[in-house]
Amino acid sequence: MIFAAHFEEYMAEKSKKVPSSRVSRLAHLGGLAGKVASNVMISGAKQVLSGKQVSRKDLLLQPKNIHAVADKLAHMRGAAMKLGQLLSMDAGDLLPKELATLLERLRADAQPMPHKQLIALLKSNWGPNWLDKLSHIELRSFARASIGQVHEATTESGQKIALKIQYPGVANSIDSDVDNVAMLIKLSGLMPKQVALEPLMMEAKKQLLVETNYQVEGQRLVEFEEGLKPYSQFKVPQYLPEYSTDSILAMEYVTGQPLDDFKDANVELRDKIASDLILLFFIEMFELQAIQSDPNLANYSYNAQQQQLVLLDFGASRSINKALAEGYWMLLKAGLNHDRALMTKAVQQIGYFGDQIDDAYKEIVLELFFMATEPLRAQQPFNFATSDIAMRIRDKGMSLSAREGEWHTPPVDALFIHRKLAGIYLIAARLGAKVNVADLFNRFEKPTVL
């Protein structure tokens, strides 16, 4: 067994042991709440003594508090960090800028595990003879996220593989982590009263429970690889069950460059990458009825030599029932043709209109969806780089959430679908791409409910 030559570099990198028991994780959050409260009281007293006006939001969002919250949740990893990421993206455009600022930093990578904790995890999953499985492993992870970190390794037969290794204690602490972070958010007073947190919290728990079972993610890898076989422009790493457990996911190591590397590539390549991402969304919705709902830049890479978009993470995959897929097909068709009657029918089928929705509220929702489908109506390839569509959607969404007593929280599946599409739009804008969205959409027929 040969460890990587990067051992010293790994040890020099900032790392903290992941708290694994419920008690220790609760203690970390309790300590965080006390630290933030103390900072608020001290700074507030100083401002009062100096004759300045005191703002609760300004006191709460001091740089030292934002740093403390982000650092603590990144240290805990798991549900605490994941929930911050979900809220910052799923409810993103409907959150006040203050809360969005507080959550923004959680989109960065988590801190790495110390190597002793990593080795202990390998032993607990593969047994005391775990060294026999590999000829080489990089102790320094090349990717980290809220639930696990990824290491490059080589099997005894010489195959290069990627190992996603889950942080300890994540699965057993989902309920308590989500409840405690939700409590902190409520106490902050920054979440709009109209946004129903409870359904989001319940769904976050269910989603996270699925994401922490790497055997389930392995099956998703198999399903997406099979479903995308007709499309050679996509590459799904092969799942390796013989090296996988509930908390270690082994897969083929696939080479590719981060999408950010292509920001200055030639225009044809940038347009192709963005076009493939949007095509993938339509394939997932209308053929596979399953979407990978986390459109994070880190979840994709591109192999320019093979001209393939590499799909790296399927933990946040969700099945979409045909009725919902049909509703979204009608919504996009209505947006393409500016068909108000069909748009109304589609939004009702998706579940956006409750029983007691007034006409003014309904009008704002329809305007929001016509705005979101603007790329479909472009007479030429839509220029994501110069469009202000994201800003206009945000402003319209904020006006919607401000209508006290009328806010209707949409179905959770719809939030994840919107998160996916919004994330793809943002990646297309980052690449400065132009895409003929209508041409891509017109390749798909309406899913029919049996």
Catalytic residue among 294, 339, 355, 395: 294
Name the token pair of 106: 């959680």
Largest CA distance in the chain: 72
Residue 83: per-residue pLDDT: 56
How many other CB atoms are found less than 10 A from the CB of residue 282? 18
Residue the block writes with tokens 């507080």 = 102
Q: Give the pLDDT score at 59.
A: 47
Is 294 a catalytic site residue? yes
pLDDT at 441: 97
Cα–Cα distances in Å, from 308 out to 92, 114, 115, 444?
Answer: 30, 34, 34, 21
Q: What is the pLDDT of residue 40?
A: 47
Q: What is the reported pLDDT for 218?
A: 96
- The pLDDT assigned to 383 comes to 96
How confident is the prediction along the chain (450 residues), in pLDDT tens digits per residue? 444 434 334 333 455 554 444 445 545 554 544 455 554 444 544 444 444 544 545 545 455 555 555 555 555 455 555 555 555 544 444 445 555 555 555 554 456 788 888 999 999 999 999 989 899 999 999 887 768 899 999 999 999 999 999 988 777 777 777 777 676 666 655 555 555 667 777 877 887 888 889 999 999 999 999 999 999 999 999 999 999 999 999 999 999 999 999 999 999 999 999 999 999 999 999 999 999 988 878 889 999 999 999 999 898 899 999 999 999 999 999 999 999 999 999 998 988 776 666 777 788 888 888 988 999 999 899 999 998 887 777 666 656 655 555 555 667 788 788 878 888 988 999 999 999 999 999 999 998 765
User: Is the Cβ–Cβ distance between 217 and 249 less than 8 Å?
Assistant: yes
**Which residue type sits at 378?**
A
Predicted TM-score of the model (pTM):
0.78
